[in-house]
Amino acid sequence: MENDSKNTVRPTQTRFSFGATSAIITNLGIIVGLDTLTHPKLSIIGALLVIALADNMSDSFGIHIYQESENLSKKEVWLSTLTNFLARLFVSSTFIALIIFLPIKFAAVCSVIWGLLILTVMSYAISRQRKISPYSAILTHTIIAVLVVAASHFIGAFLIARFQG
């Protein structure tokens, strides 16, 4: 029995999860990596806007091409592309709002908490859909996110110490 991938329809969580996860990790890396600059709000907001648009379009286009190569239906390809783009744009916008409206150090902490909360909820929902224990997925995904955030912080601190006069 042959699997006809043209008729495959992915669950909504699948389409949303890549874009949201990518936005969380990327935005937290930028926020935590740049929060000690001389003008952190301006630098972080600028970087987040670039991520929200340019990197988002790049990832969405990459997903589009990948799914076309998987021979999915045009409808599924475009739906996944659009869903990924909108998920990343929405998640990025929530981080930008935190940076705009809160003092930078508090915004950085709130962003990490917010990002990990979104990641936890998504991991839980996907685990329940797959009928597996969510605790392992939540722990794994949280550890990966924390490692990326910590690495971003140390890289940012090193670069700032090295190159900022």
- At 51 the pLDDT is 86
The whole-number average pLDDT for the span 50-58 is 87
CA–CA distance, 61 with 114 (Å, rounded to integer): 27
- Residue the block writes with tokens 């987040």: 48
CA 90 to chain centroid, in Å, comes to 10
- At 13 the pLDDT is 60
112-142 pLDDT per residue, tens: 999 999 999 999 999 998 899 899 999 999 9
The whole-number average pLDDT for the span 86-90 is 92
- At 100 the pLDDT is 94
Sign of the four-CA dihedral 45, 46, 49, 54: negative
Q: At a CB cut-off of 8 Å and minimum separation 6, what does 70 contact?
A: 5
Q: Look up residue 148 and give its two tokens.
A: 């990326």
φ and ψ at 108, to 5 degrees? -65, -45
Residue 54 has pLDDT above 70, yes or no: yes
Taking the CA atoms of the chain, what radius of gyration do you get in angstroms? 18
The whole-number average pLDDT for the span 41-65 is 87
Where exactly are the structural domains of the chain?
Answer: 13-160
CA–CA distance, 17 with 14 (Å, rounded to integer): 5
